[in-house]
A = this chain, B = another copy of it.
Amino acid sequence: MILVNGQGSDTVSALDRGLAYGDGVFRTLRTQAGQPMWWRDQYAKLAADCAALALACPDEAGLLAEVCRVAEAGQGVVKIVLTRGAGARGYAPPAAQACTRIVLAAPLPPHAQPDAAVDIMARWCTLRLARQPRLAGIKHLNRLENVLARSEWDDPEIFEGLLCDDSGAVIGGVMSNLFWVKRGELFTPDLSQCGVAGVARTRLLRAALRHGIRTHVGRLPPDAILAADEVVICNSVIGVRRVARLDDVTWSPAGWTDTLKTALDDEVD
């Protein structure tokens, strides 16, 4: 089921600025028994991303009602897309106007099923992310870099590709955020130059703080990961997954994935 501005519809205006320029933001969230998980964080991130692009974020209660309306009864995924709406030709954003809201449900993908393997295989992508601090961290609709990176492999055994920026700093996965543990301390890339700062990442950082795990957010080279004791990726749909293999490098479980998974699951709200 798809709701466009609250009405059942499977189309949007051909003049929508989301299509013309990628002028909008989105969220992909997990639902359970018809309710979104991590809603408070999801909405807060959506509102922050809208603010960064001067988009008028829809009212929380109304949006939540639409998410619940489309969500499947069991477990599932809901995607929310907000765009600056249909507009005249030209890059100039129109004076404040309501967003186009697209809210749609999809079944839980196989790799997000509760019984899916926690271990995944990853590879390095050759594409280097460009650094644009004005757009860094935002889950906006300009995702050609992700499309190009994801098209670098079609081996179904490879679950995720890892990306560096053009200065050589590790940024994260094509569709996930990246963490690693070294000597009991947690590391994750700084996303002030590029990348998407996902809600699972925010919650994991908060959980680590609550559990007294020392955390470092920084610009680090790929070697830092290769020297890690355990590497994980995360996002709102798959939760935490252990990177068992990255190209030719393999890791045996060191117990941290379960710790992080539990910490994330235990985060309230």
Contacts and interface: CB of A to CB of B under 8 A. Distances in A.
Given A91-B174, A127-B134, A131-B130, A21 B147 contact: yes
A141 B81 contact: no
A10 interface: yes
A106 B77 CA distance: 38
Nearest to A166: B131
B14 A13 contact: no
A9 interface: yes
27 contacts: A10-B14, A11-B14, A14-B104, A15-B104, A16-B19, A17-B147, A19-B19, A20-B81, A22-B22, A22-B144, A28-B89, A53-B144, A89-B106, A90-B150, A90-B175, A91-B146, A91-B149, A91-B150, A91-B175, A92-B150, A93-B147, A130-B132, A130-B135, A130-B194, A135-B144, A135-B148, A140-B144
A147 B83 contact: no
A132 B150 contact: no
A77 to B, nearest CB: 7
Interface string A89-103: 111110000000010
A50 to B, nearest CB: 13
Contacts of A13: 10-11
A143 B21 contact: yes
Interface string A128-140: 0111101100001
A18 interface: yes
Interface in A132-191: 132, 134-135, 140-151, 154, 166, 174-175
A109 interface: yes
Nearest first, the 8 A-B pairs at minimum CB distance are: A22-B22, A11-B11, A130-B132, A130-B130, A142-B142, A91-B150, A21-B143, A19-B19
A72 interface: no
A159 B191 CA distance: 34
A131 B140 CA distance: 18
Interface residues of A, number: 59
Interface of A: 2, 4, 9-23, 26, 28, 53-54, 77, 79, 81, 83-84, 89-93, 102, 104, 106, 109, 127, 129-132, 134-135, 140-151, 154, 166, 174-175, 194
B89 A77 contact: yes
Contacts of A2: 14-15
A132 B127 CA distance: 9
A174 B83 CA distance: 20
Given A12-B12, A174-B91, A143 B23 contact: yes
